[in-house]
Structure 1
Amino acid sequence: MAANAENRRTETGIPRVAMVQGAIPEHMLAAVYDPMINLILQGSKCMTVGDRTLHYDPATYFVMSIELPAVGVVNPAATGEPYLAISLTLDPTVLTTLLNDLPPPSGRCEQEAGFSVAAVTPALMDAWVRMLRLMGDPVAIAALAPAYEREILYHVLQGPHGWMLREIAAPDTAMARVSRAIQWIRRDFAEPIRVESLAERAAMSVSAFHRHFKAVTNLSPLQYQKRVRLLQARTLMVASASSVTSAAFEVGYESATQFSRDYARVFGLPPARDTARILATTRG
C-alpha cells in the first residue's frame, strides 16, 4: 500500500486521498494547509498553529476544517518503521451533500477552533482500510471511493469534530465567515489589510470578527497575513533564488529589516541563514 509513497504529498489515484512516508524536512511541513482529515498509520506528528501545538499518532486523527498556516514535525515509530500517514482533503460539495442526507444535530457545540485531534474509532479505521484497499483495485475507485469517502466523513461527523464540519459547511456560521475572510487575505496577502474592511465584508462587528477569527485560527487576522507572507517569501528565496530584500518587498513588506525580524521569530533563523540551511539539506 505504501510502496509508492514518498516523503512529500503522494497522490494515490483515489480522488482527494494522498499519502506521505519517511523523513520529511521541516521546511516542507511549514505551509498553508488545505482543510483535511489526517490519519497517521506509523510514527507520530506535531502540528503547530500559532502558539498551539497538537500531537497525534496512530491512535488519533487530526481534522483541519479551514486553510491554516502551520508548521509540523514528524517522527518514525518507536519500533523504527518510517512515518506513514494518509489524508483526505475536504470537499465542500461532498460534505454538503452528505449533511443534506442526515438529520440536524440535537445541539450545537460552543467550541470554535478550526483544528483539533480525536481518538480513532474502529468504525472510522474500517472505512479508511476499505478506501485504501482501492489502491490495489483501480477499476473499482470510481464506483466505490465516493461511498467510502462519505462513510469516513459520516464517522467524523458523528465524533467530537462533527460540529466543526457542520459549521464550515453552513454558509452563515461564524466559522464559514472566517473561512471566507481567509480567502480574501490569501488572495491579496501582499496588500495592506484593514480588519474593519474584513469584518464588514464578513457581516460582523469588528470585535466579533476579531474574536471569532482568533478562536478559529489561533491567530489574529494580521498574524495570519504575516504567516502567509513569510511562507511565500521562504518559497521565493528557496525555489526562485530571490534575495532577502526582493522577497520581502514582493510579499508586501515595506522594510527588509522588519521582514528579517519577523522571519527569524517564526522560523528560528534569519532569512539568509535559513535559506542556506534548506538548500544545503536539499542538496545533501
Structure 2
Amino acid sequence: MHQLLSFRDAIARHAPEDGTFACAIPGLKLIRCSAPTMPMPVVYEPTACFVAQGRKRATLGASVFHYDPSSYLVASVGLPVMGAVIEASEAHPYMSIQLDLDAAELAELALKTPQPPQNVTAAGLTLNQMNSGLLDAATRLVALLDTPDDIGALAPLAVREILYRLLTGPNGGAIQAITQADSRQSQIARVIVWIRSHFKDGWRIEDLAGIAGMSRSAFHVHFKAMTAMSPLEFRTQLRMQEARRLMVSDGLDAANAGYHVGYDSPSQFSRDYSRLFGAPPAKDASRLRFAG
C-alpha cells in the first residue's frame, strides 16, 4: 500500500489538475481525471498503462477490459479503442501514466530475454496483474520529475527496467513476438500500420493478406485474434473516429465528414456512425460540442 501511495503522490505532484500531460521524460504521459467520463474513441499506440488510483474501461471490438491499480494494460500495436474513466471523484481522482513502448529497445531486450514461442496469435491488447517490481520501477520513473537534472542519466534506466519486466511478465511473449519480423504478430502489425494510413481508401481483403504474406483465410483468423475485429470493422472504427473529430473540431457537417473518411453513401455513413456511437452523426457531434 505504501508503494502505491508513493506512485499516486508522484503523479499528483506533476498533474495537479485534470488533463493529459506530457513531461520531461520522453514517451511518458501523466493523466488525471476527477470525474467519470463518457466513452470516447482513441487509438492506443503501443503503450503500457499503469493506474495509481481509480478505474478505467477500454473496449476493443467485443472485448472489454477494466483496469485499476491491481492491473496494467499493454497495447502491443496501434488499436482503435473506446475508453472511459469509470471510477473517479474530486476527493479521489483517477490518476495513471502511459509509457510508449520503444520498438528498438524492446527488440534489443528481447534478444537477452528469450520467451517460449507463441502457439497462437496473441491479442494486441492485454490485461495483466501488477507486481511490486513493476510498480517500484514506475514509481521511480515518475519521481524523477522531482529532480530534473537526474532525468537524462536515470530515466533511461527506469524505462529499460519497465520494458524488461513487461517482456518477462505473463504476456511478455506477445510483446516479444512484435519484435520478430517473421512472427504472426509482426505480420499483422504491418497490416495495421498500413490500414491506419489507408483507412479512407477502398481495398480488398486479398490486398491486406498479401501485405501480411498470408492466405486470405489465415489472415482473417490472425487479424481478428489480435484486434478483436475483422479488417473491415477495424477500418470502420478508424473512419468513425476521424469523422467525429472532423465534425466536433473542424465543424464539418455529417455528409462532408462521411465523404472525407471514404463514404460515398451518407445513409450508410449515418448507419455505421449510429451503430458505433449510439446516436446519429449530427446529434452526437452537437452533444459533444455542447459538453466541451
TM range (shorter): over 0.9
Q: CA-atom RMSD, angstroms?
A: 1.6
* Alignment partners' CA distance in 1, 2:258 and 2:116: 49
Residue 215 in structure 1 maps to residue 225 in structure 2:
yes
What secondary structure sits across from 1:26 in the alignment?
coil
The 5-angstrom pairing of residues 253-268 of structure 1 reads: 253-268=263-278
Measure how far apart 1:164 and its partner are: 1.4
Residue 142 in structure 1 maps to residue 152 in structure 2:
yes
Match of 2:32 in 1: 21
Match of 1:167 among 139, 164, 177: 177
Measure how far apart 1:99 and its partner are: 1.6
Please tell me whether the aligned partners of residues 8 and 24 of structure 1 are also in contact (alpha carbons under 8 angstroms): no
Runs of at least 5 residues in structure 2 that lack an aligned partner in the other structure: 1-9
The one-letter amino acid paired with 1:261 is R
Measure how far apart 1:191 and its partner are: 0.5
The one-letter amino acid paired with 1:269 is A
Change (3 A) 1:176 1:277: same
What secondary structure sits across from 2:173 in the alignment?
helix
Measure how far apart 1:78 and its partner are: 8.0
Please tell me whether the aligned partners of residues 41 and 80 of structure 2 are also in contact (alpha carbons under 8 angstroms): yes
Match of 1:226 in 2: 236
Q: How many residue pairs align between the two structures? A: 280
- TM-score, with structure 2 as normaliser: 0.92
Measure how far apart 1:201 and its partner are: 1.6
Residue 196 in structure 1 maps to residue 206 in structure 2:
yes
Change (3 A) 1:189 1:79: closer
* Alignment partners' CA distance in 1, 2:271 and 2:19: 29
Runs of at least 5 residues in structure 1 that lack an aligned partner in the other structure: none
Residue 11 in structure 1 maps to residue 38 in structure 2:
no
Please tell me whether the aligned partners of residues 12 and 18 of structure 1 are also in contact (alpha carbons under 8 angstroms): yes
Q: Deviations over 1:108-145 (max 9, x none)?
A: 35352111111110111111111111111111111111
Please tell me whether the aligned partners of residues 19 and 86 of structure 1 are also in contact (alpha carbons under 8 angstroms): yes
**Percent identical:** 39
Match of 1:52 in 2: 63
What secondary structure sits across from 1:15 in the alignment?
coil
The 5-angstrom pairing of residues 1-284 of structure 1 reads: 1=10, 2-5=12-15, 6-22=17-33, 23=35, 25-26=37-38, 29-77=40-88, 80-100=91-111, 102-108=112-118, 110=120, 112-282=122-292
What secondary structure sits across from 1:30 in the alignment?
strand
The one-letter amino acid paired with 1:280 is F
